[in-house]
Amino acid sequence: MSGESDLRKLLSGMRPELNEGRYVFCTLPVDAEPPTGLAPVATVREAEGLTLVLRQEEADAAGLSYSYTAGWITLRIHSALDAVGLTGAFAAALAAHGLSCNVIAGYHHDHLFVAADRAAEAVSVLEELATRSAE
C-alpha cells in the first residue's frame, strides 16, 4: 500500500497524536547492540555510534545518559516516503513558534520528537496547520 503524496492532503489529514511518555536519545559505541530488555522506538547507526530513541524510564533503568527529553508525536496520515514538502511545512510551522523538531520517518507515518515540556503546544501548532491546509 502506497502512502499519500499530495501535500495539501498530507497537511490537512495529518492528525498529530501525542504518544504517552517521555523519550530520550542515547548513544552507544558504533559496534554495540542495545542492552537486553530495552525496546527502542528507533535506532540509527552512524559512523560515530549507535543512537537509541527510547522511553526515558528505560534509559534511566539501564544507566544510559542523555541530554534531551522529548515528547513523541505521530502524524497519523500514511505519508509516501517520496512525498515532497511535508517535513518542510510542519518544520516551518513549529519553528515559527520556537519549537525544534527531530523527525524519524517510518514506512507508514512520520514521527516528530519535540521538547517534552512543549509537546502539547507542538500538537496545537500542527492541528492549526492542518486546519489552515483544509480550507
Instruction: Look at residue 2 and tell me if it is in a domain.
Output: no
Domain extent for 11: 7-134
Separation between Cα atoms, residue 93 and residue 21, nearest integer Å: 24
**Element at 113 (helix H, strand E):** strand 110-115
Encode the chain (135 residues) as per-residue pLDDT tens digits: 689 999 999 999 999 999 999 999 999 999 988 889 999 999 999 999 999 999 999 999 999 999 999 999 999 999 999 999 999 999 999 999 999 999 999 999 999 999 999 999 999 999 999 999 998
Instruction: Look at residue 1 and tell me if it is in a domain.
Output: no
CATH number at residue 114: 3.30.2130.10
Contact 53, 24 (CB under 8 A): yes
Helices (H), the chain: 7-12, 56-62, 86-95, 119-134
Instruction: Look at residue 84 and tell me if it is in a domain.
Output: yes
Count H helices, E strands: the chain?
A: 4, 7
pLDDT (0 to 100) of residue 114: 98
Instruction: Look at residue 15 and tell me if it is in a domain.
Output: yes
Structural domain count of the chain: 1
pLDDT (0 to 100) of residue 2: 81
pLDDT (0 to 100) of residue 16: 98
